Each structure stands twice: as structure tokens, then as C-alpha cells.
Amino acid sequence: MNVLLMAYGTPYRREEIEPYYTDIRRGRPPSPELLAELEERYHQIGRSPLSEITFAQAIRLEAALNAALPLFPEPLRASPGPRVRGPARVYVGTKHWHPFIAEAVQAMAEDGVERAVGIVAAPHFSNRSIAEYRQKVEEALAKLGRPFEFRLVEAYPDHPGYIEALTNRVLEQLWRLREPRAALFLFTAHSIPEKSAGDGVYQAQVRATAEGVARRLGLLHWDVAWQSAGRTPEPWIGPDVNERLERAAAQGFSEVVVTAVGFPSDHLEVFYDLDYEAQNTAARLGLRLLRTRSLNADPDYIGVLRDLVLREWASFPVLE
Ligand code: FEC
């Protein structure tokens, strides 16, 4: 069983920020002002742990899959072929920095892999996220010049395990609230440009995740907000989390719990945009802001990835 685990990617060193940013901007180098601003954001948080977390997820997912293989349902266990006999192997490919998705596909090809399941450490589909991951894989596969079967887990906004994992993280914060029934619970995901969000699929999926958690906990006051809008002139979907905090203060809330449901892992957008920027906004408004812990490579999130990968793998036709 071969798996391509994908994530956004992050620069490892300061001098890598410029080429990383250029890749995000599809080959257009950032202006000196934009670059300086991004360097300052990384400086503020120390550095992003995203790559280490992605590799930790891959190692744990591989172990979980190998442990799960004998537990395949009957028809699969009975079927012959390398997928049940071979050990699971998880490759890491990231969208904007090394190991690039194309490098991971090349590594799989060099290992003789002929079929793989792809999954992204981001649960919601959008044209600016999952669609771009898929495109990068397809471009890399086309360059191989030989057959390669690839199936992608497209989204998992309402996977019961994902909802449960998030619910448990929110529960941890409930105990810290002074007045849980009077608090506002905000569920955030990365904003995208309005023109990429016209079909509403992304917004509906993020809302479905938020609603799943809110319903399980019986939350009285909750909402979806968007974070980390890019530095481009076009309009991005909102309300931005900072604007939503302003409104929360005006509505009379004094405690807010923020859960970044669009990001399983800690990284720049969590440590800077929530822990620094949104915290500063909250402090200015006299709000108490609690952020729930990220899922990272915790066993409950790994269990979700394992379940999704096993199901997708089972959809491949049986090898002769
Ligand atoms: O820790 C790190 O170093 C990386 C954190 C990081 C994650 C992430 C996830 C998403 N993004 C999404 C959409 C966009 C769009 C643009 C854009 C730009 C940036 C920039 C940085 C950055 N993103 Fe990101 N994103 C992360 C980091 N992102 C840095 C460049 C500076 C800036 O604009 O803030 C605009 C591109 C353009 O200019 O044309 C659109 C979406 C996700 C969630 C899905 C996923 O994780 O893949 C959607 C993590």
C-alpha cells in the first residue's frame, strides 16, 4: 500500500523564504516590501513547525496502516496481490517547498510504485487548496511517461473521527471558561479569494465541520470566521477573524474560543495569525481569547487519515 501524504510546506531557513514565496505566487517574485513583511512574520513566531509535523504524521500514519493491514475486511484479506502483502509506505510531498509533490512522485516511481492513494492534511476542498494539490500530482505523473494509478481523498469535512477529535479539543477549553454558556465559539479556516469561492463548496464544507462540533457540544453561540487572507488586492471571503472579534465585543461577549478547523497542524497561520494577531485584537477589545490545541500528529487525527486511506485504497480494482 502506497500513500502520498501532502501538506502546504514551509521554508526551513530564512534564505528560503523568498523562493518559497515566489512558488506560492506561481513564479512571480514578491516585492521587497512583501518579502520583508513575510520574513517578519516568521521571525515573530521563531519558525514554523509545519514540516516536522507533516513528517511525524507520515511516520505515524505508516505505522497505523501497517498495524491495520491484517484488519482488512474479508473480501480484501482474501484477495491476492501486493496491496495486502506489502507493507504500507507513506511518502511526503508538499505544495510549495521541499520535498515538493513532484519529488515525492519521482521517489515513488523510483521505488517501482504503480498505484497510490493521495491525502492532504487539509480537510476541505477548494480550488485554491485540494484542486491545486491534485493538479501538481497529475503534472508529476504525466512526466513519468508510464502508467500510474492514483486516487485522491478529496475532502473529509464531516468524518466522524475528525469531528470527534475537534470536539475533544474544544472540550479541553470549555473547562477553562468562566461562563461556558455565555462564550462565543469561532471556527476558522483559511480565507480564499472570492472569485475562487463562487460555487460555495468550500464555505459549505467548513460550515459542516463547525456545525458538527457545535451540535455535539450543544454550543449556544458559534460562528464561522476566515483567517489569513493573502496580501493581494482582490476581495477574499469573510468575515475575517479579527473583524468577527470586533463584532463579538460589540455583541457583549467577553470570552471567545477559536478553533482552526481548516488546519490540522500548527504553522505560521496558527502561530502568527491567531496566537499573535488575533490575540492582540482580542486584548485591545478586552476579550479573553482561548485557542484550541491543533491535532498535529496526535493518534485521533492519524486514525482519521488511516481510515480514509484504507477506504480509498479498497476502491482500487483487485490486481491480477
Ligand atoms: O507554516 C508555514 O510556513 C506555511 C503556512 C501556510 C499554510 C497555508 C495554507 C493555505 N493557504 C491557502 C491559500 C492561499 C492563497 C494564497 C496564500 C498565500 C500564502 C502565503 C503564505 C502562506 N500562504 Fe496559504 N498557507 C500558508 C502560508 N495561501 C506564507 C504568502 C503570503 C501571504 O499572502 O500571506 C495567495 C497566493 C497568491 O498570492 O496568489 C490563495 C489555503 C490553505 C489551506 C489548505 C492547505 O493547507 O493547503 C486555502 C498551512
What is the pLDDT, as a whole number, of residue 3? 97
Helix (H, G, I), strand (E, B) or coil at 260: strand
- SS3 state of residue 117: strand
CB 261 within 8 A of CB 290: no
Task: Check residue 72 and give its pLDDT.
Answer: 47
Measured from the CA of 230, which atom of ligand 1 is nearest? 33
- Ligand 1, CB within 6 Å, residue ranges: 8, 10, 21, 24-25, 38, 48, 50, 122, 126, 128-129, 190, 192, 230-232, 262-263, 267-269
pLDDT one-digit tens code per residue, 250-301: 999 999 999 999 999 999 999 999 999 999 999 999 999 999 999 999 999 9
pLDDT of residue 70: 55
pLDDT of the residue at 248: 98
Position 320 scores a pLDDT of 56
Q: What is the full DSSP assignment across 5-39?
A: EEE----SSGGGHHHHHHHHTTT-PPPHHHHHHHH
Q: What is the mean pLDDT of each run of 10 residues along the chain (320 residues)?
A: 97 97 97 97 97 97 83 46 62 98 97 96 96 98 95 98 98 96 98 95 98 98 97 93 98 98 98 98 98 97 97 85
pLDDT at 71: 47
Q: Which residue's CA is the nearest one to ligand 1's atom 44?
A: 129
What's the whole-model pTM score? 0.94
